[in-house]
Chain A
Amino acid sequence: MRELEIALSAARAAGATYADVRVVRGAEEQLSVRNGCVDQASSGSFSGLGVRVIVNGAWGFAATGCVDEAEAASVARKASDIARASAVARKHDAALAPAERVVAEWSSPCVVDPWSVPRARKIDILREACAKAMASGADVRIANAGMRAIDEEKTFASSEGSFIAQHSVITASSVSAMAVGGGEVQIRSYPGTFDGNMRQAGFEWVESLDLPAHAGAVGSEAQALLSAEQCPSMKTTLIIGSNQMALQIHESCGHPVELDRVYGTEASYAGTSFLTPEKLGKFRYGSKHVNLYADSTIPGGLGTFGYDDEGIASGRSDLVRSGLFVGYLMSRETAAALGTSSNGAMRASGWDRMPIIRMTNICLEPGRESLASLIRGTEDGVFVDGIRSWSIDDRRLNFQFGAEIGWRIRNGELAEMVKNPTYTGITPEFWGSCDGVAGRDEWVLWGVPNCGKGEPLQIMRVGHGTAPARFRNVKVGVGRW
């Protein structure tokens, strides 16, 4: 692509000591059905070019939706002017850890092109799922079913000679039911919250989810929650299901291991982190059962890619090993500050954003238990699942999360359903109380499409591989109900 070469040349001519440019083009289709009627049918296309430069030791970024040769040069010069202004308020020069020169192509797996499937068929699936969810409870007031497909082509070039083309196809499909009555609103979702479980795959992923087959359970659980008892307030044993575990990992592990947060560059917005560099390799983050890792190579993962937006190859790296904190998510600049090399976590949400450190697929390694054995080993406790509410402090320590549904556990068996379950804790104490993780059979790769970070805001797609796990002595049922 000639625009990339022109942008790099213009940046060099404007004094850039480093420059990279991304051209992103793509399309998105969104269909949703609400209570049997088509609620949303939209088709989007987008393209743009973003240039990032270092001039006088400082960063500048400019972007335009108009991808042509003249605009590429103009945007590169604008980015350079912005960098020169950044240098006015600079205390140290931006330094990058070394990177290999890469010329490569990468594509995500896709068996059935989602654009090849007739929209009428997609709507039929959604309407059937909606109808089954609605029919499953007298108080199910709203049933929603949706599908999304994204096709994105990204080309990256840097002043260090890298040139990388990547192509990604993403699909998602979900159904939810909302029961309303007696001052309560209760929601259940399948396969999970946030667009279900988004994946880098073709329409075969949507087929495999089989929304209509699960919609009835979604409706009947939402209905049952209306008359369930409020989750009691107590300290008890908590078992977290796989979907809720994605949230737990995201907030209390994924974010605090982002090295830009650690170095304070998100201090005014996303916050900082308690996992400061002197803790690396020394700090006990969790119990011996807790093994967490970042892996941007998992097929289908929403945090999977060939190369990040600095041209660093994807890979796997440990974050927590047998409870010990051992690794960060890094960019070239933060890795240089730590005296190491980047593990490829630098991504931008689109052509119009400067890359920042983002989660890839942050995963909990499977253990040796099963959900059934975790419940059997619990005399008294609560089992929760389905992401509903989340809040955590700016250093990622004090958290409070809520789930869609819960059940009391009595004498090693699931007992009555409870509604509005919440729980709270302090991150290392909480993970330190983990005494069992379910195994590979119950490990699920979740796609989370809505991780917010950065200014201007960047909504990023990330992944989490999770299995149910058990935690002792946790405060549940927070607040006044």
Chain B
Amino acid sequence: MVGKERAFESIKEAFASSRADMTEIVLISERDSLTRFANSEIHQNTSVDDVTIMVRAIDGTREGWASTNQLTPEALADAAARALEMASVQPANPDFPGLAEPAQYEDAHGYDETTAAFGPMERAEAVQSIIRQADAHKLNASGALRTRVREIAVANTLGVCAWHVGTDASLVTVVMESFEANAGSGYAEAGAMRVGDLDFQALGARAVDKCIASMNPVAIEPGEFVAVLEPSAVSTAMEMLAYMGMNGLSFTEGRSYASGRLGAKVTSEMVTIIDDWRHPRMAPLPFDFEGVPRKRVPLIQNGLAAGVVFDRAIAARAHTKSTGHAVPGGEEKGGYPIHLAMATGISSVEEMVAETERGVYVTRFNYVNPVHPTKTIITGMTKDGTFLIENGRITKPLRNLRFTESILDGILGSVQAISREAELIPALGDGGLYSAPAIKTGRLNFTGASA
């Protein structure tokens, strides 16, 4: 890791070498360690140390970007020169809003020494605790345990100077009866700022139990069903919604579900989704990659479209202010929510099942992608534990089903119950952690089934 002092020394050196009118630098230093297991043994085990420095050079109203992963004075000077070169070839941009002004940031308390120091042997032992449970039932365990420590520094020549060090950890496990078609399969996943908050034994037990319960599944005719969705499935729906419509650029260009509909009903009134970096147990990050303090942004409030997130450039275009959601590198314009949380309800999963005459219980969705972004239609498969609910109880495991459904009009538009408890679920890629409860929806349209 680079450390705060060296990070800002390097940034100062780069500022000194920059000939741009204004310069912004984002430095991300990361140790990313991941132990992967399959067939109940560790087969891939990695640890990567890297630092990324992104330089934004401003020449009048034109901006150019350059990056390097070398922290030497020569590499930084070269990046600063390349950024200015990239700016200089452009026509003037009258909409350029300038760089962020200095701000005060809240303390985030996002660092956990135990997580930062969690080594390969500790990861191996954690993984072993899951494998042993699978072995005891002659099942096949696979998954990944990841720990990460990350330093982020954002500074610009107007005086912005933000620094944060944080940790996070996640575990995903799939326990399978075999690789045959329609074999039993179970799943558990969790994310946290502290690795100590991950209960490996309990997560392994959950996946094993679900695998056993899902053996010998039966086929049902696809169609529209009431469905109880576990937090993993709800988190995926939230992630898709964020991708398709919670971004300021898609909003201003009329491509978002929220475009022209702020204040309008878009889901059941039971649904509230916010982006809140202070949400309990989240891996906090108090500023964005332009150095703007992150705001708590209600996205859907009691079923009404309440807002989207913005970075500075798109906020200026929309005649509003940045919400502090800029992403690094300037590639994805408009901002992105990385601390999504759906408000919890008053029900329990058991109550949701007990109050369902006929429905489908879904552990998770797999390989979900948008079909039609403005209509928020997505498709994907159920996986690792799909069950039939009949007369208030789970009666039998089901073969996996393909669904094609609108998140807003269907899944979240027909919410009948939300659980009291939420789980912290790692989003795909580097998308952060989402807090998701279980829900019962009156509408999930199944359009196919596994072979």
Evaluate whether A393 and B38 lie within 8 angstroms (CB atoms) in the complex, with A41-B89, A184-B374, A354-B44 already known: no
Is A235's CB within 8 Å of the partner chain B? Answer: no
Contact across chains for A394 and B86 when beta carbons are under 8 A apart: no
On chain A, the residues within 8 Å of B179 by CB distance are: 264, 267, 272, 276, 395
B383 to A: closest C-beta gap in Å: 6
A48 CB to closest chain B CB, in angstroms? 7
A123 close to B (CB within 8 Å) = yes
A90 to B131, CA, bound (A): 10
B330 touches A40 (CB 8 A): yes
Assess A455 versus B370: contact at CB under 8 Å? Given A265-B43, A395-B181: no
Residues in A neighbouring B70, C-beta threshold 8 A: 45, 47, 65-66
Q: Which chain B residues lie closer than 8 Å to A184 at the CB level? A: 374
Instruction: Assess the A37–B93 pair: CB atoms within 8 A.
Output: yes
Q: B136: CB under 8 A from chain A? A: no
Cβ of A404 under 8 Å from chain B: no
Within 8 A of B (CB), among A25-74: 30, 37-48, 50, 58-66
Contact A479 B38, CB 8 Å, known A88-B128, A391-B379:
no
CB-based contact A65/B50 at 8 Å: yes
When each residue 51-84 of chain B gets 1 if its CB lies under 8 Å from chain A and 0 otherwise, what string results?
1000000000011111111100001001100110
> B381 near A59 (CB under 8 angstroms)?
no
Please report the number of residue pairs spanning A and B whose Cβ atoms sit closer than 8 angstroms.
Answer: 274
| B49 A38 Cβ-Cβ under 8 A | no
* B45 in contact (CB, < 8 A): yes
The residues of B that contact A353 with a CB separation of less than 8 Å are 46, 48
Q: Known: A44-B67, A45-B78, A89-B131. Contact between A267 and B374, CB under 8 A? A: no
Interface residue count on the A side (C-beta < 8 Å): 84
The residue from B35, B41, B142 contacting A267, defined by CB atoms under 8 A apart:
B142
B37 within 8 A of A: yes
Q: Size class of B's contact patch?
A: 35 or more
A422 to B46, CA, bound (A): 39
Q: Decide if B42 is an interface residue (CB 8 Å cutoff).
A: yes
| B 82-125 binary contact with A (CB < 8 Å = 1; else 0) | 11011101110101000000000000000000000001110111
- Pairwise interchain contact B172-A268, C-beta atoms closer than 8 A: yes
In angstroms, Cα B47 to Cα A64, docked, is 9
Contact of A391 among B128, B367, B450 (CB under 8 A): B367
Residue B133 CB within 8 A of the other chain: no
Binds B, one of A5-13, A79-87, A302-310: A79-87
A394 to B174, CA, bound (A): 12
CB pair B125 A37 closer than 8 Å: no
**B43: contacting residue among A42, A50, A59, CB under 8 A:** A59
The residue among A38, A271, A393 with the most chain B CB atoms within 10 A of its own CB is A393
Contact across chains for B402 and A41 when beta carbons are under 8 A apart: no
- Which of B90, B429, B450 touches A38 (beta carbons < 8 Å)? B90
| Residue of A78, A89, A392 contacting most chain B CB atoms (<10 Å) | A89
A424 near B402: Cβ-Cβ < 8 Å: yes
On chain B, the residues within 8 Å of A481 by CB distance are 372, 375
Listed by A's residue number, 14 A-B pairs whose Cβ atoms lie within 8 Å are: A41-B64, A61-B44, A85-B121, A89-B128, A89-B131, A90-B41, A119-B85, A265-B43, A268-B143, A353-B46, A397-B451, A398-B381, A400-B379, A400-B402
Apart from the given pairs A41-B89, A89-B42, A274-B451, 11 other A-B contacts in the complex at a CB distance below 8 Å: A40-B330, A45-B69, A62-B48, A63-B49, A85-B119, A118-B89, A119-B89, A267-B179, A268-B174, A272-B179, A398-B400
